[in-house]
A and B are shown apart, each in its own frame.
Chain A
């Protein structure tokens, strides 16, 4: 903890903020990709200390928020079947499907368990040979290695009652989708530190060059975030479209090669629907043919799911940074964490929930 305390040190943060004020001469729009960063910014009140010329917009890096409605509905359909134990990270239980959510399904008697790791779900499968155990494998590159590992372990244990419902997404295609949008305002990215810890940052060089945009790998503590913003503004002010690493205590250019190998052994790149945004080609991971046995979508007959997405919530625009959470007419009035209209208000990493929880609708950066 002492180690982390140094990255929360008020004096160090204020020195870095003072430097940021000195070097910021032009208005800049910077997107932090990861919902964890959004929450840290709001939780620490960092947004109130930044120069007025810097606008932070909040990216789509919340795995709960972007899991497609179709997959949530499939999860509900599987979890409702008898003899199924449906395992999920807790945050997914409140995310709405077309009719109902996993919390409601659990209240009506379905066997739905919150687990902290897919390895726990594998254990549950071992302990319950008469039940089908399904894990809702959501997340970015950060959860992909352990979710893949659970498949490898189930395979080694020859478990025929374990499968995963895959909703893995990857960051770089989403960044390209945002940059290619006619609505794009983003001039630089703070890349998500934990994703880069797994994947490295070599893949960002081509994006920086193609879209002429600086990308800075950034961590999550207040000092990490200020240092990331500082490097980004420095590059922007100099007109340099480079990739830099402001989280070098965790991230290397190559990343965690062993974890990448596990991902590549089990998963392949597939097209993926992002909730609120739409289909982004090759932006997801799906199980390779040799692991199809562990694919819940193939194990259960859930092909005929019809989804219905309402049009009240604009969380898709929030997820790509074109609208700030508190600029939504529903924010804080008909849409609250207790009565969420969209996943961005549900998830602990969602931008709307960060605004509601910490800023009560007031953000000095806008």
Chain B
């Protein structure tokens, strides 16, 4: 059948292009490309001890005895309204959660809106009402705001940027660099719900699901936890890049190994089967109402009891341990009892071909 055989003795391939000159979508994925962009463009010019700690919040020393935690987050989402939430709820919860992950009590938010010409005012009001409800639930006030309008086509409906500020109680020291060998790793519930809810709500997959975003303010949950267990080492919400990418950030910052059990990671069955269909790994899909909690293993049972008593922590579970390892990696014990590396997400996650 084959007469002229191809030359298989010296095959070669091309050297591609590494997207160092222009922004592509992968730079906004929250994975490796985002990290590299920040390290290349922003970090060298902004460097200071608070920023260089690489947390989702910055800490500012105050003249009084309390330190301030500050965080800022720009929110872009399509569609603006999705099952379980909308861009308004997302904008409030995202920043409340980022500030809270320092252990701080959030005391105020600001919000700025970039609105596209032609955007329906009734939708804007719907977003404002949603923000108000989320802020009330979180017990914070939106104390300042800004509104800008750009020409049609220069934005996608509305973009919302929020900033938040909070007091860190004396003695609290929570951050991504604090994980220690022997600590337990806990997740507060199912992973991947937000990302899959938004993706399927876009409608271009032709899938109809009941998946709802988990977007929620977690400051109440964190408050209850810290009241009873002050010795928490790490709190972080696994947003863009998902559980896997966030655990890698912590492993790098703390210079430890984190080993988690695949079988113990809670998954909404519909998220699991939708990911299966598309070839996505739910461990890389965004969450907006979940936290990773790392604390001494002796406190894990107590922490789980507290989390499970709260509406946003009902399905909390211990998923792994922090181990000493100079390689700073995340290992996954697979369902069939083997091991593999759980790496950071690189660029955008793309659906499978066949």
Contacts and interface: CB of A to CB of B under 8 A. Distances in A.
Interface string A136-164: 00111011000000000000000000000
A95 interface: yes
A13 B16 CA distance: 39
A183 B9 contact: yes
30 contacts: A13-B336, A48-B338, A49-B338, A89-B353, A90-B351, A94-B347, A97-B14, A98-B14, A99-B17, A104-B19, A116-B204, A116-B205, A116-B206, A116-B278, A181-B5, A182-B9, A278-B11, A282-B1, A282-B2, A309-B13, A313-B12, A316-B11, A316-B12, A317-B11, A342-B16, A356-B343, A357-B341, A358-B343, A360-B329, A360-B343
A84 to B, nearest CB: 19
Interface SS of chain B: helix, strand, loop or mixed? loop
Given A63-B354, A277-B11, A348-B279, 16 more contacts: A13-B337, A36-B354, A45-B339, A46-B336, A91-B353, A97-B14, A101-B17, A181-B5, A222-B336, A275-B13, A314-B13, A343-B13, A344-B13, A346-B16, A357-B343, A358-B340
A364 B237 CA distance: 35
Interface stretch (A24-32, A172-180, A285-293): A172-180
A340 B204 contact: no
Given A1-B273, A314-B12, A43 B340 contact: yes
A96 B16 CA distance: 5
B335 interface: yes
Nearest to A179: B2
B28 to A, nearest CB: 12
A241 interface: no
Interface string B80-93: 00000000000000
A288 B76 CA distance: 45
Contacts of A320: 8, 11
A342 B17 CA distance: 10
Contact of B336 (A8, A69, A176): A8
B23 interface: yes
B5 to A, nearest CB: 5
Q: How large is the interface on A (under 10, 10 to 19, 20 to 34, 35 or more residues)?
A: 35 or more
Given A314-B12, A316-B11, A357-B341, A106 B24 contact: yes
Contacts of A36: 352, 354
A175 B22 CA distance: 40
Q: How large is the interface on B (under 10, 10 to 19, 20 to 34, 35 or more residues)?
A: 35 or more
B164 to A, nearest CB: 31
A258 interface: no
A45 B340 contact: yes
A259 to B, nearest CB: 12
Nearest to A320: B8
Contacts of A95: 16
